[in-house]
Structure 1
Amino acid sequence: MRKDDFFEILGELDDDIVKGAKTTMKKKLNWKVWGTMAVCLCLIVAGTTALLQQNSSTTPGGISIPGTGSTAGIDAGNSDGMTSTYSVAVYPGTESEENVESAEVVSLTEAETLVHPLAEHLPKQLPDGFHYGRGSVYNTTMKDGTQYNMLRIEHITGEIPEQKFAEDGGEVVPDPEQIGDTFTVCVMNYEPKTDRSIYSNQEEITGPLLGETGGVYFRSGDCFIGVFTETAELTAVLDALRKIE
């Protein structure tokens, strides 16, 4: 998994970034220094755990993005023998996290998105002023070999700001004003676990319904589509929704 993908997992919508650091010990430290390090380590672990728990409690799927269905914690070992846990698995409500073998999220360029098999269910034409912002695909493999995928695309009116770094090496949260208006489309090859109604087609979805819920699901062939208004005008999102096949 690329570093950019890991940052995206931890808070893709809110652009909150959690940055880890590796410390190499070059000399023996006295007991006071070790005590201080132990306290700091506890705080870091507690903070990271709280972040993951908060994400899990605020949205279905454990990460702050719509349309992910359910998620599971996947352990990935590294060269130091340590384990990092991340929650990016997507699967229908009929599955269980105990059945997840592996999961990943990969950032996509616009060109990569256009050739993805699920892209056929994206809007064929975008509302005036909107264009491709950023996208990612969530891939989950179950222990029996079944694969579930979700393509998630943000359409925007502005530009994705270039990532900037602070003096301490931390990443600076981009100014949302640069991105402009945004709406999100999620395409899934599975039925998402959600409390929202899932409509049989987009013709059943009206402007007032979209405005009341802020996002809708409907079926298109063997796939399920989630459309979320974010900060875009309802008329623009409804127009894009009508252009989905």
Structure 2
Amino acid sequence: MRLSFATWNVNSVRLRMPQIQAFLAQTEIDILCLQEIKCQEHEFPYDAFRALGFEHIHVAGQKGWHGVAIVSKVPFESGDLLPFCRRGEARAQAIRVDNVDIWNFYIPAGGDVPDRTTNDKFDHKLEFYERLCTHLAQRNRDHPLLICGDLNIAPGEFDVWSHRQMLRVVSHTPLEIEAFGNFMACGDFHDPFRVAYPEPQKIFTWWSYRASDYRASNRGLRLDHVLLNPALMARVANLTAKIHDDVRGWTQPSDHVPAQVTFEI
């Protein structure tokens, strides 16, 4: 079974539907995980995705904010609500395809101040990672797992435009880098993008709207990830990964771009 899989923070699924349709028309995708859809379940554009061949849809929506969704050409089983967000926001969902668990996350951004005691948003973000690690420690490690989404941390020196300057900015602070490292260790995850784009090559999936020309400034961050645990890696072959950074230059784009992996099970 061949699966082509992408994750994309679309920053409003209804607003960004023309870009999504264009991307799916030119890219062979079987499963698309979306974050920050910014709509409730009944507002989701089901018909538009079904017209593109994505008959199987799972939405965890919320009025005006957050929200995640999975659209798929292949059947899946919907999983239980994942208990990682203490506020009960629509930030996590789970499905199972061919006995592979897929978890789709929109982890909190964390606000502007990297201090857990004075900034509840930052504490919320780190607690999300802590709860995730606790859950992974209790989970059956022999069961295949793929985690994807906007994880809102750029973990490596070459995942940010300036390691030195970004160490003081939420998304790449030492506390977040440590949290992401603990998370990777908890699941013993494989990062296919660092195989496809070896260090010291810089790779980004997000660019601020503040730059009039994102390529000229190129002050990006790699906030979006697809990670595979060892049980899944043991089942896959011909694994490839690609970041579609050209999408950031389209008309009225999201500030994030799709990240795609393809493999055979």
Higher relative contact order (CA 8 A, sep 6+): 2
| Same fold at TM > 0.5 | no
Q: Say which one has the larger Rg.
A: 1
TM value normalised by structure 2: 0.27
